[in-house]
Amino acid sequence: MERSEADLSSDDATHERRTGISLFIQQFRALLRKNMLLSLRNKRATALQLASSFFFIFLIFAVDQAIKARQRTDTTYKNTFNPQPTIVPSIPTCETGYYIKSPCYDFLWSGNSSARISSIVTNIMNRNPGRPIPSAKVLGFATTDDVDRWLSGNPMRCTGAIHLQERGPSVIAYGLQTNSTSKSKRGVYEDPNFAFQIPLQAAVEREITRFIAGDSNLPWSVAFTEYAHPAISTVSTVGKIGPTFLLAAAMFGFVIQISNIVIEKELKLRQAMSTMGLYDSVYWLTWLTWEVLVALISSLLLVLFGMIFQFYFFLHNNFGVLFFMFFLFQFNMVGFAFLLSTFVNKSSSATTIGFFIFIIGFVTQLVTTFGFPYSKSFSKIYRIIWSFFPPNLFAIGLNYLGDATATKQDKGISWSGRTKCSNADQDCVLTMAGIFHWFVATFVLWLLLAIYLDNVLPDINGVRKPWLYFLKASYWSGKSTNYSEGGNPCCLSSLPQISSGNVAGDDDVAAEEESVKQQQANHIGNPNLAVQVCGLVKTFPGSTHRAGCCNTKRIPPYHAVKGLWLNIEKDKLFCLLGPNGAGKTTIINCLTGIVPTTAGDALVYGDSIRSTTGMTRIRKHMGVCPQFDILWDALSGLEHLLLFASIKGLPPVKVYNDSVELLSQVKLSDAATVRSGSYSGGMKRRLSVAIALIGDPKIVYLDEPTTGMDPVTRRHVWDIIENAKRGRAIILTTHSMEEADILGDRIAIMAKGMLQCIGTSIHLKSKFGTGYLVTINLHKAEITSPLKTPDIKLFFRENLGIEPKEENKAYLTFIIPRQREHLLADFFTKLQSRQSELGISDIQLSLTTLEEVFLNIARKAKLETAAAEGRFESLVVTSDLTFQVPIGAEYVVVSDSITEENPGGLIVEVYWQQDDTGALCISGYSGPKPPSQPLPESGAVMLKLTSRRSRSQRQ
Ligand SMILES: Nc1ncnc2c1ncn2[C@@H]1O[C@H](COP(=O)(O)OP(=O)(O)OP(=O)(O)O)[C@@H](O)[C@H]1O
């Protein structure tokens, strides 16, 4: 059994398998191709991811245009406004201006025109004779009338003065003195320009103009408004709203990234690849490479689209700075997606998470845009915490780039400027280079955390490493985890206490266990041995669930495999049978390293499944067809085989040739390039079988490989499996007794996690079968005249005391119990002597089927379990089916066979209910199989019923 490294390396040499770095590269290329194909085939998601760059840049463009259009409206107003002083009869509407008109002036400047100028001077000077500005602040102008009132000389309202400097025929010079207080005590707005100076000036100029024009009623109006100045807008649309839209664009990629990773986890695709020998590092590296490639393209497109739309943001900032800003953000989000994917096991949750992150990002980037916490007024600690969320860094980065290109004149941030503050006036706390460094540093953090959590969080099978696994020397050396590399991993001293699986007491099972123990104790090597299982135990830990508000439900630990001892030879097919839940798949999962064993061990070609290095070596020579097809819908059959062949390290030429060859063997050549998503159930199973056989594995596990296949295909696959036995060991589980009978060199039936029997088909049939199956074929003449049938039945009843199991016009079948074996010789002599008299054309005698063996064992196991758990009460019914039982009770029909000698038979769980009259009705069947014969509805049948009280009744 001991198998040296040299043996396996010689296998490697024989098959020219790649190892080490070259295997790493081959796996990397195959997985990268797979990712590329999946992305290309998932056109909608990929198109969405790439088109989102264009879409969101376009949205920003649209918003930018809307803002500019609004500014243009202001400009239009400005253009229609005549900047020249206009003499108009009246100004009925004036948006923001002063219409200065007051009877006060008539009073002020009444008198003849020649005296007017003098009046102006006189009156104004009289009113304001170089008065000092009053110390007390008084009201400003709330209305235009205020101005007039002020001019009229109300001393109480005087907040300014006109100082006439000079007057003459060719010059009039005056000065205006106004209050410069922006707000009066009473809260009235006193803008020195607009509230005082301009109206005052306008009023004076009006009077001067009237004087010069010689028309004291000359209408004089001045309208003024703020000048529209779009050209000096200091708002960068990309800088301000960009974070929101570009974050949304990045979110598409983010959601798709998480989904891609989680789907492979959810559908156990990653597990399938790992089982076939894929390095974890290759897995992560290929996803990283692919996503970085997508981020590169997406960032390039973003910058290019931005340039196409002629944003100063994209035109004036340095291309490299822009590109790194977008790329590093998306790069960082790839790491973030990896990290989040370790917490999620369902791809449907990925969208929810992506949306949730976007909402949070949307809010926090808004807060960031308003200045939190990237200014000196905030503590550094806020900044550090805030910067751990990538959208925040992205927002502040875009803000900086936006501020640097707010106007056409701004030059933006240059490549060398990335290390400087974009605006020297700002209280700068972060440069563009600082943002880049943060992105890279946090990416490394996300990646390390993702790899760590990927190992320590329970996977889809609940498997996880210890929290401090990386502190163990074995992790870094890649050596044995549970046993020292030098020792014999299967040594008896380390075997579990619940060792014996032979609680059922079968001597063959006991002998098998003894044989394994002997070989282990004496270090007897058997060159023909492929697998040696030594007391394998698997217990799934219990758990506690909340039930309702106040109760907790405790699920106890479940012992799925209770100590298995087995020797499995090369060139042989070992068949594992058992009812649902017997533990067959769990054994395969333990042997393939999908779940760790609780105790015990198994040696596969001498390598322990409990050793990390051992399992790595085993995987190179292992093929697995899982119970449920693990396939990528978007990949074709050929692509699947190419991928798995590459993962196994076959040389490139063999990768293709072997894949094509295997496809033709499983009759999928015509569908080689068709996507597996459109395969029928049987085609998928055949592809799974082909995947298990690719790479010429030395040990193949086939878990119910022919489920769902039609009889013709099934037989064909049996041929493939039969041929595949050569040079390898195959472990097959099935529910098809026929399949086990035909393919199995040795068969073991297990129930409740234990082996119940083991041996060849013939051995099991003779040991556990209910007896012999006799088929009596009737002459054609008798078909029209079935009168002899009662005679045949009478003959069997009188001689063997048995009734037919099945009967029709062509044949009758009887089962002869093994207890009557001694009567057979005489019986058949008599029967043959009366053959023609009884109208019998042919008599066939065979051992009972494997199915009967299986059913007997399964029934026995079920009754033992029920008895052990005290769930059953027995009662025997000898009349018809209508009898009194407690309402709500459940019954297990232990036998629907009639004879006392043969109390065994089919187990059928039947749920009974009492109707209003107290009669029983069968409300449904469940259990391993429906009854082979319909239960009689009434009549004189003997039924041994075992009642199971409901738990509540017991409590
Ligand atoms: N991860 C798990 N956690 C808890 N119990 C588990 C887990 N996996 C399997 N089991 C339990 O272990 C028992 C054996 O399951 P297993 O799948 O090995 O049975 P099986 O013989 O392959 O059945 P089938 O014929 O239906 O495939 C079942 O009762 C199952 O519920």
**Residue bearing the CA closest to ligand 1, atom 26:** 580
Hey, what are 826's tokens? Answer: 């005489």
In angstroms, what is the span from residue 561 Cα to ligand 1's centroid?
A: 9
In angstroms, what is the span from residue 751 Cα to ligand 1's centroid?
A: 11
Contact 722, 715 (CB under 8 A): no
State how far the alpha carbon of 824 is from the alpha carbons of 32, 520, 904, in Å.
Answer: 68, 45, 21
pLDDT tens-place string over residues 57-112: 888 888 888 877 766 554 444 444 443 333 333 322 222 322 333 322 222 222 23
In angstroms, what is the span from residue 582 Cα to ligand 1's centroid?
A: 7
In sequence order, which residues have a C-beta less than 8 Å from that of residue 140 and are 6 or more positions away?
146, 159, 179, 184, 188, 189, 190, 195, 196
pLDDT at 422: 61
pLDDT at 371: 77
Tell me the mean pLDDT in the region 313-329: 91
In sequence order, which residues have a C-beta less than 8 Å from that of residue 771 and are 6 or more positions away?
815, 816, 817, 818, 819, 820, 821, 848
State how far the alpha carbon of 176 is from the alpha carbons of 130, 200, 204, 804, in Å.
Answer: 11, 8, 10, 130
pLDDT tens-place string over residues 693-715: 999 999 999 999 998 788 888 89
Strand partners, 176: 162
Q: Tell me: pLDDT of 133 over 80.
A: no
Q: Choose the residue to mutate in 543, 584, 702 for probing ligand 1, maximizing ligand atoms within 8 Å of C-beta.
A: 584
State how far the alpha carbon of 113 is from the alpha carbons of 125, 151, 163, in Å.
Answer: 18, 19, 21
Contact 873, 806 (CB under 8 A): no
The amino acid at residue 134 is P
Q: How far apart are CA 944 and CA 940, in angstroms?
A: 13
For residue 578, give the ligand 1 atom closest to its CA: 21
**Residue bearing the CA closest to ligand 1, atom 2:** 540
Q: Tell me: pLDDT of 180 over 60.
A: no
Looking at beta carbons, which pairs linking 510-515 to residues 24 or more positions away fall under 8 Å?
512/565, 512/566, 512/567, 512/755, 512/758, 513/565, 515/567
Nearest to 262 by CA among 166, 351, 360: 351
CA-based angle 468:472:475, to the nearest 5? 105
User: Mapped to the 3 state alphabet, what secondary structure does 197-213 carry?
Assistant: HHHHHHHHHHHHHHHHH
In angstroms, what is the span from residue 579 Cα to ligand 1's centroid?
A: 11
**Residue bearing the CA closest to ligand 1, atom 18:** 583
In angstroms, what is the span from residue 754 Cα to ligand 1's centroid?
A: 13
Q: How far apart are CA 955 and CA 940, in angstroms?
A: 36
For residue 735, give the ligand 1 atom closest to its CA: 25
Q: Tell me: pLDDT of 329 over 70.
A: yes
Tell me the mean pLDDT in the region 412-423: 79
In angstroms, what is the span from residue 82 Cα to ligand 1's centroid?
A: 89
In angstroms, what is the span from residue 626 Cα to ligand 1's centroid?
A: 14
**Residue bearing the CA closest to ligand 1, atom 17:** 585
**Residue bearing the CA closest to ligand 1, atom 19:** 581
In angstroms, what is the span from residue 585 Cα to ligand 1's centroid?
A: 7
Tell me the mean pLDDT in the region 115-134: 40
Q: Tell me: pLDDT of 687 over 90.
A: yes
Q: What is the mean pLDDT of the chain?
A: 72
pLDDT at 866: 56
pLDDT tens-place string over residues 599-655: 888 999 988 888 777 888 898 889 999 989 999 999 999 999 999 999 998 988 899
For residue 595, give the ligand 1 atom closest to its CA: 1
In angstroms, what is the span from residue 610 Cα to ligand 1's centroid?
A: 21
Q: How far apart are CA 612 and CA 165, in angstroms?
A: 103
**Residue bearing the CA closest to ligand 1, atom 31:** 581
- Position with higher pLDDT, 3 vs 754: 754
In angstroms, what is the span from residue 559 Cα to ligand 1's centroid?
A: 10
Hey, what are 485's tokens? Answer: 């590399």
pLDDT at 68: 73
**Residue bearing the CA closest to ligand 1, atom 9:** 586
In sequence order, which residues have a C-beta less than 8 Å from that of residue 576 and are 6 or more positions away?
584, 587, 731, 732, 733, 734, 747, 748, 750
Q: How far apart are CA 599 and CA 174, in angstroms?
A: 108
- CATH no. for 771-847: 3.30.70.260
**Residue bearing the CA closest to ligand 1, atom 11:** 560
- Position with higher pLDDT, 140 vs 760: 760
**Residue bearing the CA closest to ligand 1, atom 25:** 580
Contact 773, 846 (CB under 8 A): yes
In angstroms, what is the span from residue 683 Cα to ligand 1's centroid?
A: 26
**Residue bearing the CA closest to ligand 1, atom 4:** 540
In angstroms, what is the span from residue 48 Cα to ligand 1's centroid?
A: 41
pLDDT at 644: 95
The amino acid at residue 71 is Q
Residue 192 per-residue DSSP state: I
Contact 225, 97 (CB under 8 A): yes
Hey, what are 314's tokens? Answer: 């994209």
**Residue bearing the CA closest to ligand 1, atom 1:** 461
pLDDT tens-place string over residues 839-885: 888 888 877 777 777 877 776 666 566 555 545 444 333 323 333 33
In angstroms, what is the span from residue 583 Cα to ligand 1's centroid?
A: 6
pLDDT at 635: 95
**Residue bearing the CA closest to ligand 1, atom 3:** 540
pLDDT tens-place string over residues 885-894: 333 334 444 4
Instruction: Say how many CA atoms lie within 13 Å of 323 toward its Cβ.
Output: 9
Q: How far apart are CA 317 and CA 324, in angstroms?
A: 12
Highest-confidence range of 6-15, 213-222, 929-938, by mean pLDDT? 213-222
Q: Choose the residue to mutate in 558, 598, 749, 865 for probing ligand 1, maximizing ligand atoms within 8 Å of C-beta.
A: 558
Q: Tell me: pLDDT of 526 over 60.
A: yes
The percent of residues in the chain predicted with pLDDT above 70, rounded, is 65
Contact 759, 744 (CB under 8 A): no
pLDDT at 207: 67
In angstroms, what is the span from residue 30 Cα to ligand 1's centroid?
A: 33
**Among 328-342, 760-774, 899-913, where is mean pLDDT lowest?**
899-913
Hey, what are 868's tokens? Answer: 């052990």
pLDDT at 462: 59
pLDDT at 478: 54
Tell me the mean pLDDT in the region 523-543: 84
Q: Choose the residue to mutate in 271, 461, 561, 586 for probing ligand 1, maximizing ligand atoms within 8 Å of C-beta.
A: 586
**Residue bearing the CA closest to ligand 1, atom 8:** 586
Locus of tokens 């005489």 = 826
**Among 104-108, 141-145, 453-457, 485-489, where is mean pLDDT lowest?**
104-108
Nearest to 531 by CA among 487, 569, 571: 569
Q: Choose the residue to mutate in 345, 539, 540 for probing ligand 1, maximizing ligand atoms within 8 Å of C-beta.
A: 540
In angstroms, what is the span from residue 596 Cα to ligand 1's centroid?
A: 14
Contact 605, 530 (CB under 8 A): yes
**Residue bearing the CA closest to ligand 1, atom 6:** 540
- Based on its alpha-carbon atoms, the radius of gyration of the chain, rounded to whole angstroms, reads 46
State how far the alpha carbon of 679 is from the alpha carbons of 35, 536, 637, 668, 682, in Å.
Answer: 21, 37, 9, 10, 8
pLDDT tens-place string over residues 16-55: 566 678 889 999 999 999 999 998 888 887 788 778 888 8
Tell me the mean pLDDT in the region 325-341: 91
In angstroms, what is the span from residue 593 Cα to ligand 1's centroid?
A: 16
For residue 461, give the ligand 1 atom closest to its CA: 1
For residue 750, give the ligand 1 atom closest to its CA: 21
In angstroms, what is the span from residue 577 Cα to ligand 1's centroid?
A: 14
Q: How far apart are CA 289 and CA 28, in angstroms?
A: 10
In angstroms, what is the span from residue 598 Cα to ligand 1's centroid?
A: 15
**Residue bearing the CA closest to ligand 1, atom 7:** 540
Decide if the complex's ipTM is over 0.85.
yes
Neighbours of 103 (CB within 10 A): 9
pLDDT at 97: 29
pLDDT at 229: 46
For residue 462, give the ligand 1 atom closest to its CA: 1
pLDDT tens-place string over residues 710-748: 888 889 899 999 988 888 999 999 988 889 988 999 999
Q: Tell me: pLDDT of 253 over 90.
A: no
Site residues for ligand 1, CB cut-off 6 Å: 461-462, 540, 558, 560, 578, 580-586, 627
Could you state, in order of their start, the residue ranges of all structural domains in the chain?
A: 42-53+242-268+283-456, 97-224, 771-847, 870-954
pLDDT tens-place string over residues 426-483: 567 888 899 999 999 999 999 999 989 988 887 666 566 777 777 776 666 655 444 3
Q: How far apart are CA 317 and CA 326, in angstroms?
A: 13
pLDDT at 476: 65
Cis, peptide link before residue 373, omega less than 30° from 0? yes
β-pairing verdict for 558-569 and 172-177: unpaired
For residue 561, give the ligand 1 atom closest to its CA: 14
Q: Is the dihedral of CA 338, 25, 33, 697 positive or negative?
A: negative
pLDDT tens-place string over residues 900-950: 343 333 333 333 333 344 333 333 333 333 344 444 343 323 333 433 333
